[in-house]
Chain A
């Protein structure tokens, strides 16, 4: 039976892999959604950061760690820009980040073509410092006879960290409050603006981490990397219980959402079903999750007045 392979250590390692990079992003996006905002530029930002790593290291002949640091700087700036614009204008984050999403998509393609002459930035493997970067971002280890990528470990770590921040720090309290009712939060002294900007910068940092992982793993980066992923992150967060209206959700839930995504993505071919149906199942799961979320919200507001 194919499902035996699916359940084996090697099978699990197979579907943990796509779940891990998605999971890191889903956790950051979940924090942002609990804070009441969306980031549509999160997907394309993984491409931008990956391209910056590849281009700075290869075209500008820098040590890969320098390239990774530059990429982090770019990500933090982009995150700050998103957050600053959203808090400054009071416009829906959906529109603001749709704007940055499209701009980055164009910038990724334009700059890559301009600097490399092709739509791919590659040749990372021969750059100084690559070995240590590979160890951090793309090494593999053997667990129970199966090869597991280090990204899975990072994913677990980030999920634990995000959970701790959400539930056990002042900042976490502010995230829930800002997403739950921004005006009320501000009235009792929560720095809602700073919280929002920090959340956007966190999402951008996660995008940097995933982008760097992709660049180091593949050693070459396509200019369209990450485009379209932003909605998958949101889907994973929502399947994991985040409310679209903000103020409710969890990091662990988002990770489980990513896990379900990975299992479905690889489970369908294992079952010898047509992989074309994947998005159908994803959509169905999303609808079910949203319906379940509605029940949660109803319960929480049931006795209101």
Chain B
């Protein structure tokens, strides 16, 4: 990894959450969550199943509105009524299912829904040469080595697909990139590949929100860690203030893990 010389960091964070909460009926899905996402930094959201990670993504991506608290974009209060509004504000979300068509070529997938065109009137056509070239260039800039942009996405591995999706979001001007469990379905090696591209996106000045339940993936790449448990924040830590083991303990709910370790111990005979 060769980081770009100067990471663009300004005073106001790209995105800031202040005491955000969300209810589904009488169920409190999320409460009192605060954290920041800065340009050129990775904010990891950690939590076990049911911790409220998906609810948080949906608020950031504009799928849901927060019931309590504030969302600040560039220091100004923001309110996203739809995913489109969030996207227009530069917040791109890469979901687990990626929104790619397996039977289509990589370059066709890369520009799907936003195809560059040339020519006029009835001769307006998909500028395939530009699309192929841009795809090749963008993937190369992310350090993704694709043998041939003409190959169908279905022939790529899971990690490669995540990487292409990340490159696509970056190309289309994402300032904040939300990654929903990008490593959860991958093996150790593939997960490493994806984390490397997350670092690349960060080095290009994107603010990354990495959602995961794996502290081993989060700790090496993250600059800030938000730990959720049953909808509540257990704190937002800078990297210097928290070790990987502490993160693991926090996620599992500290005392609960000690209890489990105790239960699993062999009885002294």
Contacts and interface: CB of A to CB of B under 8 A. Distances in A.
B155 A302 contact: yes
A187 interface: yes
B185 interface: yes
B113 A185 contact: yes
Contacts of B102: 180-181, 300-301, 304
B204 to A, nearest CB: 21
Given A168-B125, A170-B126, A187 B103 contact: no
Interface in B72-116: 95, 97-104, 108, 111-115
A170 B117 contact: yes
Interface in B58-84: none
B125 A247 contact: no
B184 interface: no
Contacts of B115: 170, 173
A299 B108 CA distance: 18
B154 interface: yes
A168 B185 contact: no
B103 A300 contact: yes
A100 to B, nearest CB: 29
B181 to A, nearest CB: 14
Interface residues of A, number: 28
Name the interface size band of chain B: 20 to 34
Contact of A303 (B111, B128, B156): B156
Contacts of B104: 173, 176-177, 180, 247
A122 interface: no
B158 interface: yes
Nearest to B111: A173
A300 B113 contact: no
Nearest to B87: A189
A167 B127 CA distance: 10
Contact of B113 (A168, A180, A188, A297): A188
A184 B100 contact: yes
A36 to B, nearest CB: 11
B120 interface: no
A247 B126 contact: no
B266 interface: no
A101 B228 CA distance: 57
B36 to A, nearest CB: 28
B215 to A, nearest CB: 24
A142 interface: no
A7 interface: no
A248 interface: yes
**Top-6 shortest CB links A-B:** A189-B113, A180-B101, A188-B113, A187-B99, A184-B99, A305-B158
